[in-house]
Structure 1
Amino acid sequence: MKRIDVTRNWQGSRLDRFVRAHIPGTPFGVIQILLRKGLIYLNGERASGAARVKGGDVVSIDIAESDEASPPPATKPKRGPGKRAVKLPAAGAAAAARKKLRPAAVIGRDIRVLHEDDDVLVLDKPAGVVVQPGNRAERGSLLDSLEEYRRRSARTRPRGGAAAADAAPETIEEPPFPYTPVHRLDRDTSGTLVVAKTRPAARALARAFARRAVHKIYLAVVEGVPAEEE
């Protein structure tokens, strides 16, 4: 059992954030699992992550059990014949891409491209743009812009020419994979949107979001100072 004494400078902090700060390297999702399993105690009692700590409190973590809740170390996926590994953009890739893209590529209604490779497209979605239409008749969504961008990219992509086509064995071509956002942003929310360009990328990104392996940062613009209880 790991014991952590709460000092006065942590007064009023959430329990889950306090624990995260005192066991560095542990994913926030794992801390939430420990709380749900009742392996984190506040003054000897099980508590939720939203509980507030104060100076003099004691936080205890059942280390022996918590090791079982930690995710296994990442291993390289095995690839079958003919399958290509999907390389997801590393942290900071979007920021680096912003510096390189001058002028930035734009999709549809002023939606800037922050990063693009063979598998992934990262967009800067402005406020006021809906990602998915509420019904099929609604037009002007980000999905519409993505489909137009995909078709435009397909037209400009270099081809092997007639000689290459004659040399290639006869195959049945699969329908093109639609560029697919792997998460949602509300209409009035601006921010970074990750889009899968291939089916393997969509699966890999969906797993990353499901495992909470994606680090998200939210910023809000507020006016005035909220009351403490708010």
Structure 2
Amino acid sequence: MTDKVRQFTVSEDDDGIRLDRWFKRNLPQIGFATISRWARTGQVRVDGGRVKPEDRLSAGQVLRVPPGGEAPHKQAKPRRELKPEEIEQAQAMVIKQTKSAIVLNKPPGLATQGGSKTTKHVDGLLDAFHSDDQPRPRLVHRLDKDTSGVLLVARTPGAAASYSKRFSGRSAKKIYWALVVGVPDIREGTIDAALAKQPGTGGEKMHVDEENGQPARTRYRVVDAAAKAASWVELEPLTGRTHQLRVHLAAIGHPIVGDGKYGGQDAFLTGSVSRKMHLHARRLIIAGPGGEKLDVTAELPEHFAATMEQLGFDPSMSDAEPEQGPPERSKAEKKQAARQHAKQYRKSRRGERRSRGPEPKKKLGKKSGGRPAKGPKGKS
């Protein structure tokens, strides 16, 4: 517990946040009751002036925080020291890093968050990206344990709020790949079926419930098929319900390959096809803080890629693949091309001038003040 007055400058990341939310984000060990008392007695101040807990802060303002106030039960937990192999695992998942985000390619079999019986998860590995002068990165959304692919992690609380708003507002575009049993009769469409927790499963399983369920919609397209045994489907969830893609595909009679939870034994193909679930978050397109746009693609896990090859599916057939434009030229190459273009242009103009001879002088009109005189009006 500190016994000195502290001063904090409100960062760009905290611009527009309420005072009480600022404390929850930056000094979580100080409770709301203490913040209210400090504001009421004028002990907490912004730019020297009194402030209320609901007042909003602006970047650059100076916040005066009095000594003490830490609640014993709210003391920050010490960081768990990661093992070298855990740090290596976390770094190996990274696809892209920006000022506001870390994008991971989550492997199948690794949970996103912990639970009563889950001790190994992505959230527990995020300390690999945490330093003393940076806040701990935060998860923005989740993937099922057995689903692989793009997982977005925000670097700061402000970035987390911005990305979360995009996900909840449905402006983030998520494209999944799945291999399913059989081939849907309708090759492209939207599955519109409300979902609810299945009674008697403790909330671990969902089912279609048109009367009491929450609205759930999934756009799908069959990219390719291997005879009648299996097909490769591109999916775009238009809502974000638990297990939505898995339940919807099973509901139309084409469970995801390897998804025994919703497809039973019918979800497994014979032969050497892997029994792991074949659902992959392939691509994410999302706008972030300050207009920053992310468009990230995650490589397939080994078992999924092997099954694709075994069934003869070509990944380039998907509409979800990023457009491959011409390779970017270096500055030296651009300058050389510009010089060559200018040289060719001057050469062509020299030939044009020789063929035309000297250009006659134009007569200037009196009314125009030095501008060419107007010709007769007519249609062009």
| TM bucket normalised to smaller | 0.3 to 0.5
Higher relative contact order (CA 8 A, sep 6+): 1
Return the structure number with greater strand share: 2
Structure with max Cα Rg: 2
TM, length-normalised to structure 2: 0.25
